[in-house]
Chains A and B, each alone.
Chain A
Amino acid sequence: MKNKFMKVLLAVVLVSALFTSCKPKNTGNAVAGNAEKAYVAPGKYDEFYNFVSGGFSGQLSVYGLPSGRLFRVIPVFSVDPEKGWGYSEETKPMLNTSQGFVPWDDLHHTELSQTNGEVDGRWVFGNANNTPRIARIDLKTFKTAEIIELPNSGGNHSSPFITENTEYVVAGTRFSVPADYSNGDVAINTYKENFKGHISFVKVGKEGEMDLAFQIVTPGVNFDLSHAGKGKSHGWFFFSCYNTEQANTLLEVNASQKDKDFIMAVNWKKAEEYLKSGKAKKQSVKYAHNKWNEKTHTATSEIKNEVMVLDAAELKDICYMIPCPKSPHGCDVDPTGEYIVGSGKLAALIPVFSFDKLQDAIKNKKFDGNYGGINVIKYEAALHGEVQKPGLGPLHTEFDGKGNAYTTFFVSSEVVKWDIKSLKVLDRVPTYYSVGHLCIPGGDSKKPFGKYLIAYNKITKDRYLPTGPELAQSAQIFDISGDKMELVLDFPTIGEPHYAQAAPADLIRNNGQLKFYKIADNNHPFVAKGEKEAKVVRSGNRVDVYMTSIRSHFAPDNIEGIKLGDEVYFHVTNLEQDWDVPHGFAVKGADNGELLIMPGETATLKWKPNRVGIFPMYCTDFCSALHQEMQGYIRVSPAGSSVPLTWSVGTNLPKTK
Chain B
Amino acid sequence: MKTYKISTVSKAILLIVAILFIGSLFVPMWQIELEAPQYPEGLVLKLHANKIGGDVEIINGLNHYIGMATLHTENFFEFTILPYIFGGFAAISLLLIFIAKRKAVLIFFISYILFVVLAAIDFYRWNYEYGHNLDPNAAIKVPGMAYQPPLIGYKQLLNFGAYSVPDTGGWMLTACGLLLFFIIFKEYKLFTKKKIN
Contacts and interface: CB of A to CB of B under 8 A. Distances in A.
Interface of A: 550-551, 576-579, 624-626, 629
Given A625-B140, A626-B139, A577 B65 contact: no
B107 interface: no
A534 B96 CA distance: 59
Contacts of B65: 624-626
B58 A577 contact: yes
B57 interface: yes
A551 B64 CA distance: 9
Contacts of B61: 550-551, 576, 578
Contacts of A625: 65, 139-140
Nearest to A578: B58
Interface of B: 41, 57-58, 61, 65, 139-140
Nearest to A575: B61
Contacts of A624: 65
Nearest to A625: B65
A550 B57 CA distance: 12
Nearest to B58: A578
Nearest to B62: A551
A582 to B, nearest CB: 14
Contacts of A551: 61
Contacts of B140: 625
Nearest to A580: B38
A166 to B, nearest CB: 33
Contacts of B41: 579
B43 to A, nearest CB: 9
Nearest to A624: B65
Contacts of A576: 61
B139 to A, nearest CB: 6
A528 to B, nearest CB: 17
B139 A577 contact: no
Nearest to A576: B61
A551 B140 CA distance: 14
A343 B100 CA distance: 91
Contacts of B57: 577
Contacts of A550: 61
Contacts of B139: 625-626, 629
A297 B27 CA distance: 37
B178 to A, nearest CB: 39
- A-B pairs with lowest CB-CB distance, top 3: A578-B58, A626-B139, A577-B57
15 contacts: A550-B61, A551-B61, A576-B61, A577-B57, A577-B58, A578-B58, A578-B61, A579-B41, A624-B65, A625-B65, A625-B139, A625-B140, A626-B65, A626-B139, A629-B139
A629 B61 CA distance: 16
Nearest to B43: A578
Given A577-B57, A577-B58, A578-B61, 12 more contacts: A550-B61, A551-B61, A576-B61, A578-B58, A579-B41, A624-B65, A625-B65, A625-B139, A625-B140, A626-B65, A626-B139, A629-B139
B132 to A, nearest CB: 22
A579 B61 CA distance: 13
Nearest to B139: A626
Contacts of A577: 57-58
Nearest to A626: B139
A59 B160 CA distance: 39
A578 B41 CA distance: 12
A578 B60 CA distance: 12
A550 B63 CA distance: 13
B119 to A, nearest CB: 31
A522 B66 CA distance: 30
Nearest to A550: B61
Nearest to B57: A577
Contacts of A579: 41
A578 B54 CA distance: 13
A577 B57 CA distance: 8
Nearest to A551: B61
Contacts of B58: 577-578
A578 B43 CA distance: 11
B137 to A, nearest CB: 10
Nearest to B140: A625
A551 B139 CA distance: 12
